[in-house]
Amino acid sequence: MRGLMQDRPLLISSLIEHASHYHPDAEVVSKTCEGPVTRHTYREISERSKKIAQALLALGVKPGDRVATLAWNTHRHLELYFAVSGIGAVLHTVNPRLFPEQIAYILDHAGARVLMFDLTFGDLVTRLRPELTCAETLIAMTDAAHMGAMPEGSLCYESLLAAETGQYAWPEFDEREASSLCYTSGTTGNPKGVLYSHRSTLLHSMMLCQVDGLALSSHDSTLLCVPLFHVNGWGLPYASAMCGAKLVLPGPHLDGKSLYDLAASEQCTFSLGVPTVWFGFLDHIEQTPEARPEALNLKRVVVGGSSAPRSLMRRLEAIGVYGFQAWGMSETSPVATVGNLLPKHADLDAEARAEMQCVGGRPVFGVELRHLGDEGQVVPQDGTTPGELQVRGHWVTSGYYGLGTSSLDAEGWFDTGDIATLDGDGYVRITDRAKDVIKSGGEWISSIDLENAAMAHPDVAEAAVIGLFHPKWQERPLLVVVPRPGARPDPKDLREFLAGHVARWWLPDDIAFVEAIPHTATGKIQKTELRKQFADHVLPETA
Ligand code: ADP
């Protein structure tokens, strides 16, 4: 017997409709590429989204068409989140920090018909244009006054919008239709497209607004440091509309000073970002007398995308901010686990609490995890046995766009490519990406644990660990360190410091000091590049 409840599809358009009706005055503050800060209410964002939706329809965009963006975090990019998906087309956000050849590959592979871009990417689009086979319509996301330097034949976003009435009712369709498309950064091989649906997006948003999710609510003012081109801005644009949270968008300015200034002036309570963003934010506050932590109202910060060293959580705490981790990937929308504590953790001392803040969290409802050993057997959830992490859930991918095959095993599990431990409560600790783990004499050394231990040293600004060939042990760790400004860490002292934190046989065979460590387009340590850089490096014992 079927239930008799209303069967309303879970559609992205319902999010902005809700925000416009029930949180009409909540604000979206945006630093624009043109310079000024703009302020809109959700009611205005809703109206502008409808106008741009009408413009896209007038240009012939059909359900299922891919509309690509090369854009920063601004109100216009946010509007496209609702407008493109709202008409049944697919918002295809492309990371502008990738190499131009990769961008061209991604746009063509996705078959993007329309390409929208910020003022800052006009030149990039001009260069890309001869490579693109599908993108027949170019739209510059700016106003008429700034169209001068835009690629020939580009349409103007604000002019298109101004020509429409905003009198538009969002269509209803199947919630399983595709809503957005993000490509993984493709550190190995070509980038692969993850195709989200309206249903997966809404379920993920509901989780973000749960207390045991990210606890996002109308009381929050969120500084969105995660780019809107990185896994749907970790779902925050949708979830913020769902609960009426104020959204603060930093535009192209992700440096420490700009983020501090915005967080202070907009009294942001909540934020999210990768560790490198927080390093910049904290460096600015710690090194600039005028940047006063008391001027902030920041209470909670999610550190995700890479493992967070304890020293980072401590530095956040010193300015009155509670940092916690979330784990996920493009293939999981992205949030799959959140570092919330359980009632039994209420009496944790400061040390134990800091430890909990640095694990990747535990599954929220809708996500299941397990991990497998070398033989493909499920290994115990004892908090110490590492294994290859698998995930299953309502907002986890089943396969990649255009590949035609499922990426799941017979029981519906997706291989994450991460190595992790799981404990009895489901807390996950990522110890490595499978391809980064250091295999020394048949045992595994966690590069992440070593990096985090090194980062706790006061003279270390950033650390990365890679495995180098060793004739006897197969691989041994090389620690690459960026010293703090003015510091000259002594390698012997550093090794002794590490000996207090990790097993002796994990200690790096060598330490290299560098001015900078390469980062990926999403701000993570780029181990492939580091491995290339140190390909000829000979470890001392083997020299
Ligand atoms: P890419 O890094 O290739 O752009 P993703 O953003 O999808 O793609 O990255 C997902 C990966 O980031 C995960 O597989 C994991 O290795 C890493 N990651 C994400 N969150 C965490 C975390 N909290 N701790 C450790 N690693 C993390």
**Residues 152-173: tens digit of each pLDDT:** 999 999 999 999 999 999 999 9
Instruction: Say if domain 363-433 classifies as CATH 2.30.38.10.
Output: yes
Q: How far apart are CA 428 and CA 425, in angstroms?
A: 9
For CA atoms 366, 371, 375, 379, the dihedral sign is: negative
Supply the angle between the helices 491-499 and 447-455 in degrees, to the nearest 10: 110
Instruction: Kindly give, in sequence order, each residue whose CB lies less than 8 Å from that of residue 326, ignoring residues fewer than 6 positions away.
Output: 214, 234, 272, 302, 304, 335, 336, 337, 338, 339, 360, 361
Q: Which of 79, 175, 331, 462 is catalytic?
A: 331
User: Could you say which DSSP state residue 166 is in?
Assistant: -
pLDDT digits (tens, 9 = 90+) for 27-67: 999 999 999 999 999 999 999 999 999 999 999 999 999 99
pLDDT at position 523 over 90: no
399 closest CA partner among 194, 184, 96: 194
Burial 90-123 (b: 16+ CB within 10 A, else e): bbbbbbbbbeeebbbbbbebbbbbbbbbbbbbbe
pLDDT digits (tens, 9 = 90+) for 254-310: 999 999 999 999 999 999 999 999 999 999 999 999 999 999 999 999 999 998 889
**pTM listed for this prediction:** 0.93
Q: Which of 74, 184, 201, 337 is catalytic?
A: 184
Q: Which of 439, 524, 529, 542 is catalytic?
A: 439
pLDDT at position 375 over 60: yes
pLDDT at position 492 over 90: yes
Residue 184 CA neighbour count, 13 Å, CB half? 22
**Which residue minimizes the CA distance to atom 3 of ligand 1?**
185
Nearest atom (ligand 1) to Cα of 433: 16
| 13-27+37-196 to CATH, choices 3.40.50.1100, 3.40.50.12780, 3.10.580.10, 1.10.150.120 | 3.40.50.12780
Is there a catalytic annotation at residue 234?
no
User: Ligand 1 centre from 417 Cα, in Å?
Assistant: 10
pLDDT at position 542 over 60: no
Instruction: Kindly give, in sequence order, each residue whose CB lies less than 8 Å from that of residue 487, ignoring residues fewer than 6 positions away.
Output: 458, 459
Kindly report the number of other CB atoms within 10 A of residue 356's CB atom.
18
Q: How far apart are CA 326 and CA 306, in angstroms?
A: 9
DSSP 172-231: P--TTSEEEEEE---SSSS--EEEEEHHHHHHHHHHHTSTTTT---TT-EEEE-S-TTSG
Is there a catalytic annotation at residue 496?
no
User: Ligand 1 centre from 259 Cα, in Å?
Assistant: 23
**Which residue minimizes the CA distance to atom 10 of ligand 1?**
329
The confidence score (pLDDT) of residue 508 equals 95
Q: Which residues line ligand 1 (CB under 6 A)?
A: 184-185, 187, 231, 304-307, 325, 327-330, 360, 416-418, 430, 433, 522, 524
CATH class of 438-542: alpha beta
User: Ligand 1 centre from 369 Cα, in Å?
Assistant: 15
Domain boundaries, the chain: 13-27+37-196, 363-433, 438-542
Alpha carbon separation from 413 to 394, 405, 524 (Å, rounded): 12, 14, 26
User: Ligand 1 centre from 482 Cα, in Å?
Assistant: 22
Nearest atom (ligand 1) to Cα of 186: 3
Is there a catalytic annotation at residue 165?
no
Q: Residue 35 CA to chain centroid, in angstroms?
A: 25
Q: Which of 444, 524, 528, 529 is catalytic?
A: 444
User: Ligand 1 centre from 391 Cα, in Å?
Assistant: 14
Helix, strand, coil percentages (3-state) for the chain, rounded to 5, are: 30, 25, 45
The confidence score (pLDDT) of residue 281 equals 97
Cα 152-157-159 angle, rounded to 5 deg: 95
**Which residue minimizes the CA distance to atom 6 of ligand 1?**
329
User: Ligand 1 centre from 326 Cα, in Å?
Assistant: 10
Is there a catalytic annotation at residue 505?
no
**Which residue minimizes the CA distance to atom 23 of ligand 1?**
327
**Which residue minimizes the CA distance to atom 5 of ligand 1?**
329
Q: How confident is the model at residue 543 (pLDDT cuts 50, 70, 90)?
A: very low
Which residues share a beta bridge with 92?
Answer: 68, 181
